[in-house]
Structure 1
Amino acid sequence: MTLSVTELTKVYGEGDTAVRALDGVTVTFAEGRFTAIMGPSGSGKSTLMHCAAGLDTVTSGSVRLHDQELTRLGDAALTRLRRTRVGFVFQSFNLLPTLTAKQNILLPLELAGTKPDPEWMTTVIDTLGLGDRLGHLPSQLSGGQQQRVACARALLPRPAVIFADEPTGNLDSKTGHEVLDFLRRSVRELGQTIVMVTHDPNAASYADRVVLLADGRIVDDIEDPTADAVLGRLRTLGV
């Protein structure tokens, strides 16, 4: 069991203006699996990911990563955890424009004061096909190359889990397919655990499992999803 969320509630605001973004969500994300989180706009999928990753506080409930209770950690401990045990891939890439691809990839390890495992770094770079792009700045890379750099940055510290927030949202369909294929391979070949928020049924079909949210609650859990199965279920939710 890599990541477990128990009776998670998140309320924004107070009184009459309060919004219950998550309403008692309980879910486990198994080690070495690729899980997609989907749901209508406002269903709570991004809130669930942010709370599970320690990026946002919870109103009640718990989040456990292996033996650590994230909801009891202070800011400094959460920062250390995010640098070493959690990886992130965002829609907007979030690369520093003044750093080369290699410097961007190494940044989390440098911030944590650790050195990369040379063999593992070679594996990640080769798997992503970035060997001839390491000296380039983000502005010299295509969108797909920038997202592959972001994937390498997330993988290099060997985190317990990688959270991907709409990782293909800014990519064309061909490049998006390449990034999703790599994420799939990183689970199958490298044993990575990935939790991805997406609105795209085709992207979700790369996952081992799809968790569907509506109104802050889990309403379905689909194993071995196909794009058609996910799309059909979303339609029943009015998406």
Structure 2
Amino acid sequence: MTTTHAVRADDLVKIYGEGDTAVTAVDRVSVTFPAGEFTAIVGPSGSGKSTLMHLLAGLDTASSGSIRIGGTELAGLKDRELTTLRRDRIGFIFQAFNLLPTLTAEQNIVLPTELAGRRPDRERLAQVVADLGLSDRLGHYPAQLSGGQQQRVACARALMSRPHVVFADEPTGSLDTRTGAGVLSLLRRSVREWGQTIVMVTHDPVAAGYADRVVVLADGRIADDFRAPTPDGVADRLQWLATR
């Protein structure tokens, strides 16, 4: 990284529709996500948190404003350039895991690297799967794995290539409490031990409590931004938004 931020948005706007039916999902948001930190984005349903993450990750196009991944401005990138940036510099973890059912766990993990035309780093693979407790599951297909194991495979896939930033969209939403806590602990460790940058969207105050920092959205705008969150502190802020 040549900058101290992994992701930066300036005056970001996203409008869906036109005229009387236009909806502003993200309304002039400016926010920076420092490299090597775990940030959670929370907010009520319809607050724009998932839309914001999709914009930051280059999965959707902003109506106006600026987004930078490291030193690269997303606006103006051609489709092929944007695809390359997402492949080489961004990791994704989704609630639905998004594993290919016909590939083994190992094949799913190394797939992005192979699609990029590179040989997987076997030493890195061994480190990641060992840290995630997957060493004895590499030959299994997704259908042979529990939900928690599938999400750990998704985490390994996202972390394998040492991306500049990992975006996680409700990564524990379909997991039970114990399994979800295990996945969140792994994300926390990836920040502390590997210097990874995580930006996670969640509706869960407990999940947000694993982060270094919480950004709260309401009506497409940043309503709060604080560090050292606790589950109770996040819940109190969300309750305040619901009753104001």
Q: What amino acid is the match of 1:148?
A: R
Moved over 4 A (4+): none
1:126-162 Cα shifts (integer Å, max 9, x gaps): 1001000000000000000000000000001110000
2:181 pairs with 1:177: yes
2:201 pairs with 1:187: no
Whole-angstrom distance in 1 between the partners of 2:126 and 2:196: 16
Structure 2 residue corresponding to 1:113, chosen from 117, 133, 142: 117
Q: Which residue of structure 1 aligns with residue 134 of structure 2?
A: 130
2:20 pairs with 1:16: yes
Structure 1 residue corresponding to 2:164, chosen from 146, 160, 168: 160
Whole-angstrom distance in 1 between the partners of 2:120 and 2:73: 27
SS at match of 2:97: coil
Structure 2 residue corresponding to 1:47, chosen from 27, 46, 51: 51
SS at match of 1:154: helix
- Is contact 1:2-1:30 (8 Å) kept? yes
How far 1:71 moved relative to its partner?
Answer: 1.8
Identical aligned residues as a percent: 67
Whole-angstrom distance in 1 between the partners of 2:213 and 2:76: 29
1:179-218 matches, cutoff 5 A: 179-218=183-222
TM-score by length of 1: 0.99
Q: What amino acid is the match of 1:199?
A: H
- Is contact 1:54-1:71 (8 Å) kept? no
Whole-angstrom distance in 2 between the partners of 1:134 and 1:78: 30
How far 1:62 moved relative to its partner?
Answer: 0.6
1:150-199 Cα shifts (integer Å, max 9, x gaps): 00000011100000000000100000000000000000001100000000
SS at match of 1:32: coil
1:70-109 matches, cutoff 5 A: 70-109=74-113
2:71 pairs with 1:67: yes
1:89-120 Cα shifts (integer Å, max 9, x gaps): 00000000000000000110111111122222
TM-score by length of 2: 0.97
Structure 2 residue corresponding to 1:145, chosen from 149, 154, 159: 149
SS at match of 2:225: strand
Gaps of 5+ in 2: none
Kindly report the root-mean-square deviation, in angstroms, between the aligned alpha carbons of the 2 structures.
Answer: 0.7
Aligned length: 239
How far 1:75 moved relative to its partner?
Answer: 1.0
Whole-angstrom distance in 1 between the partners of 2:96 and 2:239: 28
Q: Which stretch shifts more, 115-124 or 173-182?
A: 115-124
Whole-angstrom distance in 2 between the partners of 1:7 and 1:120: 38
1:186-232 Cα shifts (integer Å, max 9, x gaps): 00001100000000000000000000000010010010000000000
Whole-angstrom distance in 2 between the partners of 1:222 and 1:9: 22
Gaps of 5+ in 1: none
Q: What amino acid is the match of 1:53?
A: A
